[in-house]
A and B are shown apart, each in its own frame.
Chain A
Amino acid sequence: MSDHLLEVRGLRTWFETPKGTVKAVDGVDLTLERGEILGLVGESGSGKSITGFSLLGLVDPPGRVVEGDIRFLGEDLRSASPRRLRDLRGNRIAMIFQDPMMTLNPVLRIGTQMIETVRAHAKVSKAEARAMARDALGQVGIPHPDERIDAYPHEFSGGMRQRVAIAIALLHKPDLIIADEPTTALDVTIQSQILSEVQTLTREMGMGLIWISHDLGVVGQLANKVAVMYAGRIVERGTVDEVLDAPRHPYTRGLIDSLPMENDRGQPLRQIPGNAPPPLGRPEGCPFRPRCARATEACLTEPAETEVQGRGWRCFHPLDERAMV
């Protein structure tokens, strides 16, 4: 296997519950190179966050990665020791969470949490770690980093807190950042500021970035590649232009159609009929079948992925490539 930055094959993360097995992630393949931004898109419950956690071995029991191959720069992460994983986390692979109000410890100063992150991976003195932390805060555009480093998380606004989280992720100049809905809790102006900063940083530092989001609009603005998740599987993948301009899977089409800017003013917003299937009791065959206008008898068996030149979809009745309305 050649050394991609990240290569995931057949990842399955299941949760054993008293009511049955929840197959949160059920056969996911991903590939990412340096400098690339991959948008992982899906509704709530599609398994996109669990995919992110699985990569770092951070799935909480009863969840478990039951199958699959995760390779980071050629190294097998699934068989890596807890010690090795801890060395990688926050160091070579960093993660940014959705709501930094919940993820930064409210009773510890920002500085304390940054310094501990520095010192978890580098043998430096407290003063050096503090200087690094202060520089990182400055880098993400936090004014007066010398004073702000001693503040507590609740003393920051939502946008500033997310900048802190990004600063923490950048501390060790990681090779890969997994960002789980990092701008969802922010208002639109702050969101686009942060998006453009992240884009620049990724390019400058040659990192790979997995941007997990439910917002196809944001992903279209930011990413190079898109993977659309539905019910634990990737149903369509390709470059941003390919997927957004010419979706092949009816679900992707539905997502694009329901974006407000794709709709005519004054008309009711188009939506995908029905709901995402419950995690227990997913339908047989193609999980999107009950909501799909194109479904036929054939869809009662599960579609395999059709791959054409790095672009893939799981559908028996893909939309025509030029069928844009």
Chain B
Amino acid sequence: MTVFILRRVLQAILVLFITSLVVFLGVYAIGDPLEILLPADASMAERAQVAASLHLDDPLPLQYLNFITSALQGDFGRSFVYNRPALDVIFERLPATLELVTTSLILSLILGIPLGLIAGVKPGSVTDESIMTGSILGFSLPNFWQGMMLIMIFAVWLGWLPSTGRGETGYILGIRTSYATWDGFIHLLLPATNLALAQIALVIRLTRTGVQETMPLDFVKYARARGISERRILFVHVLKTILIPIVTVLGIEFGSLIAFAVVTETIFAWPGVGKLIIDSINMLDRPIVVAYILVIVAMFIVINLVVDVLYSLLDPRIRSRAS
């Protein structure tokens, strides 16, 4: 197990290094931040001075070398726009996004798994057909349109829920979160639902397929032959078996949810990293973009590791092979 984790860490460092190079070059190629940072009528002297202060006049390899050496010391440069350390700006916004993403993942599990189980147990029934039709809608309607419809229905027509912003936050166990206050919680509902809709549809389909593949297996028949209740067969025997693919997919989805959060955060004016990165790309704020992508890549690596560990918890056969 230790060797396994060590190998993973080495791989991770390599991946982070390559990503930083690609992103650094990419953002460099998009355009010159000076065009945006300086007023149109700035003199050549002013240009040179700003370029020097941001080290933008160095040759590209030197700029990258400077970046990577300070990055190794935990310094990802200062944002051109905010004039604050890039990591600070990102980590200030990240909790809001993580909160949004986690909430929608939880929503997709607590709604998706039961619905998928119900659909899978009686394939072809009216309940199954209705759930599956609903999941097709969840999949195929564009995310931004779903978001606007949610605002229309719950904020405009019914007036039940607020449609923009994060609302009041409080602290639980030292973490700043919307769950601490009622106002924060109701602000979280619409964006989290919006982000969760496609995930719920996905979890429903995964669960349903899993149930249908597992029910004909011999161990289900054997459990019946032992007089085990259908309830226990479904919620213990079948569910534990199908959790493995669900965990895999949700692990991968966690990353793409953070990416998708860009759309949702824009619609609901949610102050998370998704909105930050869109703004930063527009402003060619290179330190923020590079640091953001490295943070996301690091997060993917950690998620994958967690998924692998969860696997071995769920499937004892993997555990004994690894040890």
B316 x A154 contact (CB < 8 A): yes
B218 x A58 contact (CB < 8 A): no
> Once bound together, how far apart are the Cα atoms of A152 and B240, in whole Å?
14
* B222: interface (CB < 8 Å): yes
A168 x B227 contact (CB < 8 A): no
Which residue of chain A is the closest to B241 with respect to CB atoms? A107
How near does chain B come to A30, taking the closest CB pair, in angstroms? 18
The majority secondary structure among interface residues of chain A is mixed
Q: Which of B16-71 contact A (CB under 8 A)?
A: none
> Once bound together, how far apart are the Cα atoms of A212 and B228, in whole Å?
23
A105 x B219 contact (CB < 8 A): yes
> Once bound together, how far apart are the Cα atoms of A95 and B219, in whole Å?
12
Q: Known interface pairs A107-B241, A108-B237, A154-B320. Does A97 touch B229 (Cβ–Cβ under 8 Å)? A: no
How near does chain B come to A87, taking the closest CB pair, in angstroms? 7
> Once bound together, how far apart are the Cα atoms of A113 and B232, in whole Å?
11
Query: What chain A residues lie within 8 Å of B224 (beta carbons)?
Result: 58, 86, 89
> Once bound together, how far apart are the Cα atoms of A58 and B222, in whole Å?
9
* B221: interface (CB < 8 Å): yes
* B317: interface (CB < 8 Å): yes
> Once bound together, how far apart are the Cα atoms of A88 and B320, in whole Å?
36
* B283: interface (CB < 8 Å): no
Q: Known interface pairs A99-B218, A102-B218, A103-B218. Does A89 touch B240 (Cβ–Cβ under 8 Å)? A: no
Query: What chain A residues lie within 8 Å of B219 (beta carbons)?
Result: 102-106
B317 x A95 contact (CB < 8 A): no
How near does chain A come to B301, taking the closest CB pair, in angstroms? 27
A108 x B236 contact (CB < 8 A): yes
Q: Known interface pairs A58-B221, A97-B218, A99-B218. Does A106 touch B317 (Cβ–Cβ under 8 Å)? A: yes
How near does chain B come to A98, taking the closest CB pair, in angstroms? 8
Contact partner of A152 (CB less than 8 A), chosen from B228, B237, B317, is B317
Query: What chain A residues lie within 8 Å of B225 (beta carbons)?
Result: 56, 58, 89-90, 94-95, 97
A95 x B316 contact (CB < 8 A): no
How near does chain A come to B237, taking the closest CB pair, in angstroms? 5
> Total A-B pairs in contact (CB under 8 Å)?
80
* A252: interface (CB < 8 Å): no
* B10: interface (CB < 8 Å): no
B222 x A107 contact (CB < 8 A): no
How near does chain A come to B37, taking the closest CB pair, in angstroms? 57
B227 x A152 contact (CB < 8 A): no
How near does chain B come to A180, taking the closest CB pair, in angstroms? 10
Contact partner of B232 (CB less than 8 A), chosen from A91, A104, A116, A155, is A116
* A202: interface (CB < 8 Å): no
Among A53, A87, A116, find the residue whose CB has the most chain B CB atoms closer than 10 A: A116
How near does chain A come to B44, taking the closest CB pair, in angstroms? 70
Which residue of chain B is the closest to A121 with respect to CB atoms? B227
Which residue of chain B is the closest to A107 with respect to CB atoms? B240
Interface string of B201-234 (1 = CB under 8 A from A): 0000000000000001111011111111100100
* New A-B pairs, 10, CB < 8 Å, besides A94-B225, A95-B226, A103-B218: A86-B229, A91-B227, A102-B218, A105-B219, A107-B316, A108-B236, A113-B223, A117-B226, A120-B228, A120-B232
28 residue pairs from A and B, CB less than 8 Å apart: A58-B224, A86-B224, A86-B229, A89-B224, A89-B226, A91-B227, A94-B226, A95-B226, A97-B218, A99-B218, A103-B218, A104-B219, A105-B223, A106-B219, A106-B317, A107-B240, A107-B241, A107-B314, A107-B315, A108-B240, A116-B226, A116-B228, A116-B232, A120-B228, A120-B232, A152-B316, A154-B316, A168-B226
